[in-house]
Amino acid sequence: MAAKLKKGDKVVVLAGKDKGKQGEITQVMPKENKAIVDGINIAIRHTRQSQTAQGGRLPKAMPIDLSNLALLDSNGKATRVGFRFEDGKKVRFAKTTGEAI
């Protein structure tokens, strides 16, 4: 099945503590049905100091479920994603505006 959300997409969070926040997808994990969005779902990770890296409390973006994300259309609103064929190629399109992504 084709992915509705891909790396680099601008998304908005629909549910959870970061509801309403916007960000860009940096990594998608299709087997776990999750994605990592920069600046969203931040957790503090305590790391030990090593020879190369300073230790301490480091913020880290944690995975968020794909069902809690929606793509942003050209108007800046959340939209669902559909698929259609244009010139023999399968393309994604925004359901709200109908334009290809």
Q: What pLDDT digit, counting tens, does each position of 67-88 carry?
A: 999 999 989 899 999 999 999 9
Q: Tell me the mean pLDDT in the region 41-62.
A: 94
Cα separation values, 97 from 13, 35, 100, Å: 20, 24, 9
3-state secondary structure of 97: coil
Average pLDDT, the chain: 93
The backbone torsions φ and ψ at residue 68, rounded to the nearest 5 degrees and listed phi first, read: -95, 10
The backbone torsions φ and ψ at residue 47, rounded to the nearest 5 degrees and listed phi first, read: -120, 145
**Angstrom distance (rounded) from CA 101 to CA 89:** 13
- The predicted model scores a pTM of 0.84
